[in-house]
Structures are given as structure tokens and as C-alpha cells.
Structure 1
Amino acid sequence: MTYPRAFNHIGLSVPDVDAAFKWYTDVLGLYPIMEPTEIARDDSAIGIMCDDVFGESWSKFKICHLATADRIGIELFEFPDNQTPENNLEYKKTGIFHFCITDPDVEGLAEKIVATGGKQRMPVRSYYPGEKPYRMVYCEDPWGNIIEIYSHSYELTYSAGAYQD
């Protein structure tokens, strides 16, 4: 039987996990679960799991764990020799290109993101101008990870046919 599953977490790569941990807690208000910790290759359970995921060429990385108000996890990883892509919005490539946060003050959060080193990629837009207060905007954290902000929940925004005229 197929049924909807709960979203658990997403992992993001950043060049400075300590700075990102502070930014994600201070700016996005995420709840800290585990502060930045270094993981080194060894025979522990986590070391073996990392061998499975990264292959045997990895040596160490830093990681921390955060959570949203609705208990969705965000893992931040700092790998040695982290590389920032030239184009951080390669939407034509397969893979995750953004994640979304819900905040009724879309404009205020976008301003806070910009004031703390991030970017606002577009003006705040309305899905139903003059009808419903559903708004959204795309931003970036200071390391180029794309963050979309919705004023309302995903279900409310799309259940009314956001793309229909």
C-alpha cells in the first residue's frame, strides 16, 4: 500500500558550519539539536555509515543538527575543500535546488536574511493578488543555499489552485 510519508530532514553543505549554525538559529529561528561536531573516519557506527555514503576517501567533516517548529530536521555539513558553485540555482539539474520555510512575515524575514549576509533573489510575490494574502519570495543564505519563504502552509497555498486564473 502506498501512503504519504513524513518529511524527516534535509542536509545542506556550507563552508563554515559554526557560522551557519549561528545564522540558522539566529535568523531562521531553528531549534538547535546538536551543536557543530567534528566526525573523523574510524570504525565507529557513524564512521562506517559515512564510508557507505561517501566512500572510503573521506577523512573528516563537521556537522550540526537543527529543527524547524514542525520538527523537520536540517543538517548542516562542512566538508574539507568545500566548493561553492558558480551558479547556485542550477534548476535544470536533477537534485534539490531549494527548501522552503513558512513565516507569516515574508517581507520581514527576507529583510533579516539580507541584513545578515544573505540575498533576496526576487520581489515578494502574491499567489492571489487582491484575493488572498498568500505570498512568497526566493532568498539565499550567506553561503548560497536557496531558501523559499511562504506566508502560509503548502496545503493552503496549493489547494486553492495557485496556478489557475
Structure 2
Amino acid sequence: MKKKMETNRNFRGIDHIGITVPDVNAASAFFAKAFEAETLYDVLPEDAKPLQGAETEEQLGLPPDSKVVHMRLLQIGSGPTIELFQVAGTFQSKTAGLHDYGLQHLAVYVEDIQAAARQFESAGGKLLSPPHPLSGVEDGPRNRGVYGRAPWGTLVELLSYPDGLKDKTLHRWTPGTH
């Protein structure tokens, strides 16, 4: 039996996920081709004055002399939005792997895992393996997942669990459901 989510709580859910990319336009094109993402708007257009200086560095935790030169909000289906950042004037570290501490991947629920995997690769992504069965409580005859990397290295998971969870007393929010 599903528990009804309380609506009088202070925290409603995830609004967006921020991803720093080398080029907002190229990343937007990848997300559009790979996931049919729609551009909602530019938070900071590429021809606007960059966000920089001591106050910006403090507010965003940026290193000295770096600047945000472009920001854009995208939407994939009915999930949270994705905010893309393009930052200049600073050293860029290698993208995080699953073994690294912190936020290190984004998962996209898909209807057809094989078709989504082909579309991801066609858009320039690289799968780490073929789609595979899920395990544990997420195991089911048609439940599948696969990890891949976006062209700039961000780890992305494609996920589908049409058979639901083994334990029907558990509840998990899934995009497109209420």
C-alpha cells in the first residue's frame, strides 16, 4: 500500500540538478538529441555580463578569478530540471565516477531501454556496458539499467523498471506517475 505524501511539509522535492559543462550550447544539443530535452530559458545568456568577482565566488563556492559565462535550464519529460553551467578562468577537474564522494550521476527513467541506449550513443554518449537486469528489490523480468558517459564525461544512468519493485509495500517516485 502506498503512503500518501504529505503536502504540508516544507520540502517538496528536487527542483533541479546543476551540471557544469565545457559548452552549454553543445551540452544542450546532446541532451536534446539523447533525451528529447527542451530548453526552458537561459538563466545567464552567453552574451550577458559574466557572473564574477568576490561576491559570486563566495555565493557559488568558485575559485578566485573564475566566472560563470553561460547558464541554461533544460527539462527532460516530467522530472526535475537540469541547470547547465559554463565556467571559465579556472582549472577543470576530471568528472566524478561512481566511486567518488558527492553527487556523481544523473538517472533518466526511460520506457524502452534498448531504444534509449541507441539514442544516447547516437547523440555522442558512450555506454559503459550493454543494458543489464537490475538487482535486489529492483529486480524484475523487464527491469533494466545501464550507465554511460556524456561527451564531456558526466555519468548518466538509463533506468527502466516497468515491473516495479519486488516488495510491493515499498514506494518509489517514478517520473510520469503521481
TM-score range, shorter chain: 0.7 to 0.9
Report Cα offsets for 1:55-112 as digits up to 9, x if no partner. Answer: 5643342111011221411011111146251xx4533321111110011111111112
**Which of these residues, 20, 35, 60, is aligned with residue 13 of structure 1?**
20
Quick check: 1:34 aligned with 2:41?
yes
With normalisation by structure 1, the TM-score equals: 0.75
Partners of 2:134 and 2:39 in 1: CA distance: 32
Amino acid at match of 1:76: L
Q: Quick check: 1:17–1:63 contact (8 Å CA) kept in 2? A: yes
With normalisation by structure 2, the TM-score equals: 0.71
Q: Quick check: 1:106–1:149 contact (8 Å CA) kept in 2? A: yes
Alignment of 1:137-148 (within 5 A): 137-148=146-157
Amino acid at match of 1:72: P
Other-structure match for 1:102: 109
Q: Using the aligned pairs only, state the percent identity.
A: 21
Q: Quick check: 1:134–1:157 contact (8 Å CA) kept in 2? A: no
Q: Quick check: 1:63–1:76 contact (8 Å CA) kept in 2? A: yes
Structure 1: tracts of 5 or more residues without a match: none
CA RMSD of aligned residues (A): 3.3
Alignment of 1:1-165 (within 5 A): 5-35=12-42, 37-38=45-46, 40-41=50-51, 51-54=58-61, 57-80=65-88, 81=90, 83=92, 85=94, 88-127=95-134, 132-152=141-161, 156-157=164-165, 159=167
Other-structure match for 2:174: none
Structure 2: tracts of 5 or more residues without a match: 1-7, 171-178
Report Cα offsets for 1:16-52 as digits up to 9, x if no partner. Answer: 1111111112221112111472352379xxx956641
More displaced, 102-111 or 34-43?
A: 34-43
